[in-house]
Structure 1
């Protein structure tokens, strides 16, 4: 019997079988309190506050939640819309709309607004992810409550998860994965492969509607672990092939029956694309021993020089790296620990990308990611995110270490001093990577022209408003105007992933039309342009393409330059409701 099993059995004997629910709820409650504390600034005014580190993503996600709610209530197709990028539209299934939460939370979005949905998804996902991993570690893997609580907390609040908790809820909502692991373990043990396979298929289908990239990374990590573990126990692995094969076959059949059409729409439907290239986006070697921007021991300047604040996927910090290496060496004879250590090492190596970087400089040393980057689906993965595979593997190693040390502490010769020393080591390793509260700012108010409904005097429902500058991945202000107008008008271009030309490779945003390019240049330079007659004719053609009813210029740092240019294109505008407007004739 393993040390973990001995400790779990002893703990089970020492407590009542019918322990009160409140005695078991303290761990999930602690996770929830911690999550709320991180987002307290956002919860003070979900509709009026903005997570500063999210860039333009908060606007995009709130827009996704609102569009999904509208599709549900009006029985529209939730996989496509022309509210952005009119008239071409946006393939929503090919974007991260998280239908798995946006559809069930439709009542919240309609009654309280997409800002509340955004805050609820982020806060709830952190707590739910930590709780689900805690459940797996305690109930399925047999770790003590303390060890499981530590491991679950690490899975929910580790730096690679927190870096996405500003802007990418699809990489925070990881609460389905522990239940997938539990079912895979049941299949490994040969328990009811048909039933468990069917349940697994349902969970996989649901995860696809939460985040496909997460599922691909998870499958990659599980494959690495399975190969490493099977190599240590080949006879046991051969015995498990039949139930595993049966269960996985049933899971694939159930899952595909539910997601076949959405996946067809994603890859072959209108505005689909053939892949998304990121270049060499691997982790810097130095990042692994550096503290993240939003870790207690980190700072923006040091971490920001190595990765964006929303993609610090490998910032575990040097104390944890030392501990993981030590645990791998000490527990190497334990098959599970050996396989976990190999998984951490391989995932970390893959996350280095196609060319290894050190301290911001490309070493030109080929990275192991080259082995996978050419494969279907992997071509669209941001390679640095492979480091997230390390998180649950490290969590299990930590739980194993805590339980083994607790067993040693139970021996007579272990006195108080070693216990305090071990506690101090854990604090020294984990305290510097503890997350700090997220920074929020007041959102810029939407002009009265939109909040009062004045825009309806110029544009019929379903018409197209052309904001200046045109919405893009770098400027999503107009999406908020559209939300505050109940999504009753359409926008050209926008922030989404769609096809480029000529090979339909995925790009962020739309293929920009000439007038959009001109206005963007004016926005960036802050200098107005004297336009040519050819540019006026092009503007007229672009407005016809967008089915434009109205051009609107709101408050902007380059407002004077933009107004000068638009008036040279379209003639004089007039002031209404805090914006400049030009009626398209």
Structure 2
């Protein structure tokens, strides 16, 4: 134990240092750049600011009308990272929301790797476990998701579930109530961190339990009483922690009806079978022909399943060499099942979908499970591969240098394309200074529109940087309809601004249309209109709003600004 604690601390420090190094393009200017791309991350940046703001001002953190005003939106139906946002509140308030996002993105990889290390310690020595943790926490899956989705890279729950379920189903040495309580606490915390990982873990765990029972049928009777007590305790504790969040999600304001279907279209974000062995633009070691094949993969934002032939060969060797070890049998069987599910409802090879139905056709029709993206199940594949690699390092009779060289040969192809992408936090001075000209808590219409219609999320960043001083009738959120398209996008005001922001030409307004738009402004309680930087159409957008409001805007801090709009836009 005295040697274990220092080694574990050193392992965590090494993982953190590696994550900082990979994300160095953001850490060179941590308040001015964030890790990853420039669309989805702003959603998480907004949530990092919302949670401390909600607690400080007495708002319900699970419901907000600061976006999509006046209807608001249900944060439990959105990737709101409530627990991480709460824990990072001191960083957000002291150093700023962009720094907090970079801390989240960096620690997500390091902590995921560290938890995998702890889980693998149950089966191998510390050194091999550290190698396995490295593979899990810094896998192609993690680097692909780090571009946009920190709720997926903060993947500490799957290895913790592996560790705790091993105790529940196999070892059974500690109190079942204690073990069950720990499972329930972990599941409850995961609920308010990222529901997709929770749902996916439950699915994979159910398959794992069935596989374990199949492999060890003679032990079912002896192990069942303990397991039932532990899992019963886990359910009760998880329900206590998650009762309020789940109640809000299922029955609260702006909840999504079960009949709405999945948020994302089925069959898009799947694992292409060729992706397992074909490197893409996301890897450092790729080439033209491979990139041509990779360009055919569906769901380009979810290309995260590259394993590479060397790692596949190494894992296959471990399975054959130590096939009599129960943990190897289990890892190999579950890895095969997870891979099959990751393919989605139909097998796709190099972009070509074959008429071959696969097991995913079943869970894609079940509540909650239908919103899991099959491609993201490769997270569990990398955890199981990490276990097999750790077994190889731990059990191999090769000289240490030969083992190190073999593992390096398997892992080097997984190095991501460097330098890792980062995005500039470009915010007009008007918002950086707190948007003091906007009445506190009032509604401001900001162009370009934040969301799918406007093709940007930048106004949400500006709102967060202004400490949420104002509400917006727009936002990149999941609406009650179950999609990202806002109901108000059909209204002429929002339709015109979106089209102008996309570079389209629109016909002049008629007198009746101008009247209707003023009524829309009044109906949404818009007190201020602001036009910030836009990729295209800014001049035409300002001209359009000038025609609606009847006078030219003021130019303040890099924005065009109309105050007192409620007085100007009376619908009479």
**Residue aligning to 1:569:** 548
Q: Distance in 1 between matches of 2:513 and 2:332?
A: 61
Trace 1:452-463 onto structure 2 (pairs within 5 A). Answer: 452=433, 455-457=435-437, 459-463=438-442
TM-score, normalised by the number of residues in structure 1: 0.88
Paired residue for 2:475?
494
Query: Which residue number in structure 2 is paired with residue 36 of structure 1?
Result: 20
Residue of 283, 291, 301 corresponding to 2:279: 291
Match of 2:559 in 1: 579
1:59-113 per-position Cα deviation (integer Å, ceiling 9, x unaligned): 1111101010111222321101111111001211221211221112212211111
- Residue of structure 2 equivalent to 1:156: 137
| Partners of 1:526 and 1:561 within 8 A in 2 | no
Residues 418-456 of structure 1 deviation map (CA, whole Å, 9 limit, x = unaligned): x65544332221101023442224332x22333345x54
Distance 1:299 1:238, change over 3 A: farther
Alignment partner of 1:533 is 2:511 = yes
Question: 1:531/1:317 Cα in 2 relative to 1: closer, same or farther (>3 Å)?
Answer: farther
- Partner of 1:581, secondary structure, is strand
> What is the deviation of 1:197?
1.3
Matched with 2:167 is: 186
Q: Is the 8 A contact 1:42 1:50 kept in 2?
A: yes
CA deviations 1:320-379 (Å, max 9, x no partner) are 233333433444333321221121111111111122222223334323211211111111
Contact 2:158 2:380 survives alignment (8 Å): no
Compared with structure 1, are the counterparts of its residues 394 and 510 closer, same or farther at alpha carbon in structure 2 (3 Å cutoff)? farther
Partner residue in 1 for 2:326: 335
Residue 112 of structure 2 corresponds to residue 129 of structure 1: yes
Q: Which runs of 5+ in 1 are unaligned?
A: 1-16, 410-415
Contact 1:85-1:510 within 8 A present in 2 as well: no
CA contact (8 A) 1:278 1:380 kept: no
Contact 1:513–1:542 (8 Å) recurs in 2: no
SS at match of 1:497: coil
C-alpha separation in 2, matches of 1:152 and 1:125: 13
Aligned residue number for residue 97 of structure 2: 114
Name the Cα RMSD after superposition: 2.3
The correspondence for 1:62, drawn from 6, 25, 45, is: 45
Q: Assess, with a 3 A threshold, how the Cα gap between structure 1 residues 21 and 146 changes in structure 2: closer, same or farther.
A: closer
Offset at 1:174?
1.7
SS at 1:507's partner residue? Answer: coil
Separation in 2, partners of 1:254, 1:148: 30
**C-alpha separation in 2, matches of 1:61 and 1:226:** 34
Q: Is the 8 A contact 2:132 2:387 kept in 1?
A: yes
Alpha-carbon deviation of 1:162?
1.6
Q: Give how far 1:483 is off.
A: 2.0
Q: Secondary structure of the equivalent of 2:385? A: helix
> How many angstroms apart in 2 are the aligned matches of 1:145 and 1:49?
36
Deviation per CA, 1:282-337: give whole Å up to 9, x if none. 22221111225333324795545425564123122232233333433444333321
Instruction: Say whether 1:544 aligns with 2:522.
Output: yes
Change (3 A) 1:385 1:441: closer
Shift of 1:528: 4.8
Give 1:471's aligned residue.
450
> Does the 8 A contact of 2:318 with 2:391 survive in 1?
no
Shift of residue 20 of structure 1? 8.3
Q: Check 1:85–1:60 CA distance in 2 against 1; reply closer, same or farther (3 A cut).
A: same
State TM-score, norm by structure 2. 0.90
Larger mean Cα displacement after TM superposition, 311-320 or 83-92: 311-320
Distance across 2 between alignment mates of 1:388 and 1:130: 12
Q: In structure 2, do the counterparts of structure 1 residues 155 and 86 end up closer, same or farther at CA, with 3 Å as the change threshold?
A: same
Within 1, Cα distance between the matches of 2:446 and 2:2?
Answer: 62
Aligned-partner SS, 1:393: helix
Q: Which residue of 1 aligns with 2:251?
A: 268
Q: Secondary structure at the match of 1:363?
A: strand
CA distance in structure 1 between the aligned counterparts of 2:4 and 2:350, rounded to whole angstroms: 52
Q: 1:366 maps to which residue?
A: 357
Question: Partners of 1:438 and 1:532 in 2: how far apart?
Answer: 49
- Residues in 1 aligned to 2:157 and 2:266: alpha-carbon distance in whole angstroms: 30
Q: Alignment partner for residue 239 of structure 1, among 201, 218, 222?
A: 222
With over 3 angstroms needed to count, the CA separation of the structure-2 counterparts of 1:264 and 1:279, relative to structure 1, is same
Distance 1:442 1:469 in 2: 18
State the secondary structure of the residue aligned to 1:290. Answer: coil
Counterparts of 1:484 and 1:213 in 2: how far apart (Å)?
A: 28
Q: Using the alignment, how far apart are the partners of 2:32 and 2:507 within structure 1?
A: 35
Structure 2 residue aligned with 1:146, among 127, 131, 144? 127
Question: CA–CA distance in 2 between the matches of 1:156 and 1:526?
Answer: 44
State whether structure 2 residue 393 is matched by structure 1 residue 393: no
Match of 2:375 among 361, 384, 407: 384
Structure 2's unaligned 5+ residue stretches are none
How many pairs align?
Answer: 549
**Structure 2 vs 1, CA of residues 24 and 129 (structure 1 numbering), >3 Å: closer, same or farther?**
closer
CA distance in 1, matches of 2:331, 2:516: 59
Give 1:510 shift.
Answer: 5.4
Partner of 2:65: 82
